[in-house]
Structure 1
Amino acid sequence: MRMLVCLLIVCGLQSVALAQEPVTAVNAVLDDYHAAAAAGDWPRYFALMSEDAVFLGTDAGERWTKSEFQAYASSRSGWEYTPQTRHINFTPDGNSAWFDEILESASYGTSRGTGVLIRTTAGWKISQYHLTLPIPNALAREITDSIKAYETQ
């Protein structure tokens, strides 16, 4: 009987470890993505993205393919966004993940990153990353009015 209980416990622990593995792997990719950006290590940064990846910036016109974003980043020394919180979810088949994270940066303060990762034979790759600047609801009308006025110039 003890042997059966021990076997069930070991199997249960293995299941928990296997369930944690994709979360750990996705967290590692996202953490490395931010670390590579902060270091301006563009080969490492872009290796973490799928070939058909898209980066959506804070400006409504910023929708970059991977190659377009590589050209943009190549002349820059890097940017630093430090994750504060992150939530990760997976599709039922476990081959895709989506996330949202709150970030802090010296230049922009609080921002939010959201995106999608896909599982490839080379590991998890970022397929889409979207950087946004969250607006407190109390300021939304004032800020959106400013954006509308800017867009009509």
Structure 2
Amino acid sequence: MKRFFAAAVLFFGMLGLAQAETDAVLTKQVNTFVDEWHQDAANARMAYFDKIAKDGVYIGTDRSELWRRDEFKAWAKKYFDAKKAWSFKATRRNVYASADGSLIWFDELLDTANMGHCMASGVIRKTAKGFEIVHYQLSVAVPNEVVDGVTQTIQEFEKKASKK
């Protein structure tokens, strides 16, 4: 009985080690995929949109920016045609996955060329063809010490806009 217990502990310990290695492999694959996606935008490559699922959603920083992939592509076309899209560089990313690895979600801290520090989160679906982004939400990272001033500026802007 002791041998069986020891063998079971060893087996399940090795299984846990294999899962940890798989998680590291999956995390590396996801990091590569998302980094390439950001590079596609930085280099104004239309492949950027191919990495978003047909039913994918992109939520930008403006409250009006809730895009389905094809709407987002149409809106962004002028930036990609001008070869002046956006540049995001992840400085931190956390990756999480369902037990079978078919559904992955992540959060990331970004340095951007035009908005400073941003935060984002995304959901990725793993398919037979590879990864695809199902949901991505970008937000400007506002330090708590200045959030009251930012909120006031937004309220003043919206008040003026509503009078037009």
TM superposition score category, shorter chain reference: 0.7 to 0.9
RMSD of aligned Cα (Å) = 2.1
Any unmatched runs of 5+ in structure 2? 1-10
Q: Helix, strand or coil for the counterpart of 1:132? A: strand
Q: Which has the larger radius of gyration?
A: 2
Q: Distance in 2 between matches of 1:24 and 1:108?
A: 27
C-alpha spacing 1:13/1:93, structure 2 compared with 1 (3 Å): closer
Q: Distance in 2 between matches of 1:106 and 1:100?
A: 19
Corresponding residue for residue 55 of structure 2: 52
Aligned mate of 1:116, from 123, 133, 137: 123
Corresponding residue for residue 4 of structure 1: none
Corresponding residue for residue 95 of structure 2: 88
Any unmatched runs of 5+ in structure 1? 1-7
Displacement of 1:74: 1.2
Number of equivalences: 147
Q: Percent identity?
A: 31
The letter for the 1-side match of 2:155 is: K
Corresponding residue for residue 36 of structure 1: 40
1:111-132: CA deviations, max 9, x gaps? Answer: 1121111111111111111110
Q: Pairwise mapping of residues 4-43 of structure 1 onto structure 2 (< 5 A)? A: 14-42=18-46
Q: Distance in 1 between matches of 2:20 and 2:146?
A: 43
Displacement of 1:11: 7.6
Check whether the contact 1:25–1:124 (CA below 8 A) recurs between aligned residues.
no
Displacement of 1:36: 0.2
Q: Distance in 2 between matches of 1:11 and 1:67?
A: 42
